[in-house]
Amino acid sequence: MRGREDEWTGLMRSAMAGDDAAYHRLLKAVTPVLRAAARRGLARAGQPPDQAEDIVQEILLAVHLKRHTWDSEAPFAPWLFAIGRNKLIDMLRRRGRRIFVNIDDFAETLPGEAPQETVSAGEVASQLNTLPQRQRDVLQSIAVDSTSIKDTAAKYSMSEGAVRVALHRGLAALTAKLRNH
């Protein structure tokens, strides 16, 4: 566990220093842990586990948009799990459930418990359709068609800078829509 969390902290430091591959690896590595914790939290609240992936995606978006609040001198896991807890609580609250979030749901995940899998979730996908055209095009192109920023820029005759702006604004808008949903 210690080793895993130290590895996350190291990856996040590299990510913050501009290493996109380290960032990608970090997000891949934390996702199964978040998924297991979300399922456990939902089960505890008497909710079906099929919403777990929506929570996971919301957590990932929040991690991304708030990563500047992580103190690079501090371990990464407590910061990550705090966001995870907040997002789980938000989701249960929106569903009008009484909140029984055990603080340990996000802390006591066992290593090896979580198989790598990729799962679709409904909420991000459906909110994606409500974004302005340009942001939606860019997000679709990069996320779904896995086109690079450069090729996306060529495809829509935009500058790379404009693609980056649309990408970031799209992610921020998506998060705002999920929060108020």
Partner 1 sequence: MDTDQLIRTLAADNAHRPPRVGAVLTMALLVAAPLSILIFATFLGVRHDVMSAMHNPFFDMKFAVTLSLAIPAIIVSLHLSRPEALLRGWGWLLLLPVGLLAVAIGSEAMMAPAMPMTMRLMGKNSRVCLLAIPAMSLPLLAGALFGLRHGAPSHPALAGALAGLVSAGLAATLYASHCTDDSPLFVATWYTLATALVTAIGALVGAKVLRY
Examine residue 11 and tell whether it contacts partner 1 (CB under 8 A): no
Supply the minimum distance, in Å, between the C-beta of residue 86 and partner 1.
5
∠ CA 55-59-62, nearest 5°, is 140
Question: Torsion angle, CA of 126/130/136/141, rounded to 10 degrees?
Answer: 20
Examine residue 105 and tell whether it contacts partner 1 (CB under 8 A): no
Supply the minimum distance, in Å, between the C-beta of residue 118 and partner 1.
4
The Cα–Cα gap between 108 and 146 comes to 34
Q: End-to-end CA distance of the chain, in Å?
A: 35
Supply the minimum distance, in Å, between the C-beta of residue 21 and partner 1.
8
CB 44 within 8 A of CB 102: yes
Interactions with partner 1, residue window 128-147 (CB under 8 A): 128, 139, 142-144, 146
> Residue with structure tokens 């996971």?
56
Examine residue 82 and tell whether it contacts partner 1 (CB under 8 A): yes
Q: Is the dihedral of CA 119, 96, 44, 60 positive or negative?
A: positive
Interactions with partner 1, residue window 21-40 (CB under 8 A): 21, 23-24, 27-28, 31
The number of beta carbons lying within 10 Å of the beta carbon of residue 94 is: 12
Contact string 40-79 vs partner 1 (x = CB under 8 A): -------------x--xx--xxx-xxxxxxxx--x---xx
Q: Which of 125, 121, 144 is nearest to 53 (CA)?
A: 121
Interactions with partner 1, residue window 149-168 (CB under 8 A): 149, 164, 167-168
- Positions in the binding site for partner 1 (CB under 8 A): 15, 18, 20-21, 23-24, 27-28, 31, 53, 56-57, 60-62, 64-71, 74, 78-79, 81-83, 85-86, 90, 118-121, 124-125, 128, 139, 142-144, 146, 148-149, 164, 167-168, 171, 179
